[in-house]
Structure 1
Amino acid sequence: MTWDEVTPLLWPATRETLYMTGVSTLFTAVLGLLIGVLLVITERGGLLPAPPVNRVLGVVVNVGRSLPFLILMVAIIPFTQALVGTSIGNTAAIVPLTIGAIPFYARLVEIALREVDPGVIAAADAMGATRREIVGKVLLREARPGLVSGLTVTVIALIGYTAMAGTVGGGGLGNLAVVYGYERFEGKVMLATVVLLVLLVLVIQAIGDFTARRLTHK
């Protein structure tokens, strides 16, 4: 294949990768943040101590993080089919992408929240702040740089997951690399997809670093 033939293939595949990454990032950010907060506030000595709930959440998160993405994707095919009506394609790939990324981000959220100075929390409590106010205006506010850095790492991991999803019909740059670069031995296609994936990662990392630095200075 010539580069003139390769180029028209890249934009649709890139768009599919961005679609899968963007939608799964949205769900991951919301649900991962919620689970991460619950892990912190339900621990013994937390704002809302509930050790049994904390242990269950911890087990679920640990199990979710321990499963390789390809195995997870295959294992939840019945659930994916029930949810979106198919197990193949961009939209179907969003389901395992989200399920695989949520526990990963939840742990990063937990780490970021634990780094908040306990003295700030104690001061807010002494001033009569409610638990909701402490979580929203103290914990989450103070942890913003760490939360953004964690989300950046998660988005980059999701890009890698989308490439793996492409090997089983998920679409995107991964699927393009497999169909043309691997099965048809088109080295130019493989090179182009690798370069695009690297560029995506570099851009997202730069945006995440910039945002985290800005939040740190506020």
Structure 2
Amino acid sequence: MAVNPTHSLTPREVMADAPVIPVIVLHDVAHAVPLARALVAGGIRMLEVTLRTPQAIACIEAIAREVPDAVVGAGTIRTASDADAAAAAGARFGVSPGYTPTIGRACREAGLPLLPGVATGSEIMAALEDGFTALKFFPAMQAGGPGMLKAWHGPFADVVFCPTGGISAGNAGELLSLPNVACVGGSWLTPGDAVKAGGWARITALAKEAKALQRAAQ
């Protein structure tokens, strides 16, 4: 899928670009651009930079400005101010750890396509009521893993998920084989020791392995 920098993405387009969306925690703005370039070199362009550190917004700004082939998003969006700050920094999509109508409305008003986090049937129904059908299942492995996704496929056959939380190279394939899983989210593509050491070649190699993972036909 070609991503036009001026194109307004949909959540399903974010999910469809690659089998894995890396979940990125950055503590140093100097790491943001080389990390993004390393992931893009491996074929991974949808990058979720989590708002878990004071440097996160500056990192999003740097990637948006200096890595045009990346599509940077903001994770851990919990408030309207998070959504506004992420959009102002150049984020192209948002990811939340849970869902409320308030956060859904805030992201729409900020022009930020949202992957809302859900862990229960009631949360899925709340997101569906507000028009969201592409959802993040979080924390996936702790909340039921593949078994829960299989159970949800019956009542929620119109929903696609991005399981995140406890996902690794070892279990990603099982999740991606499920018909209601469009992609997975994981931090294993950007190990902290590699980022700290500037091990960009290692990260590119991990991205290439992730890009090669097979998904079920949707």
Q: Does TM, scored on the shorter chain, surpass 0.5?
A: no
More strand by share: 2
Q: Which has the higher contact order (CA 8 A, sep 6+)?
A: 1
TM-score by length of 2: 0.23
More helix by share: 1
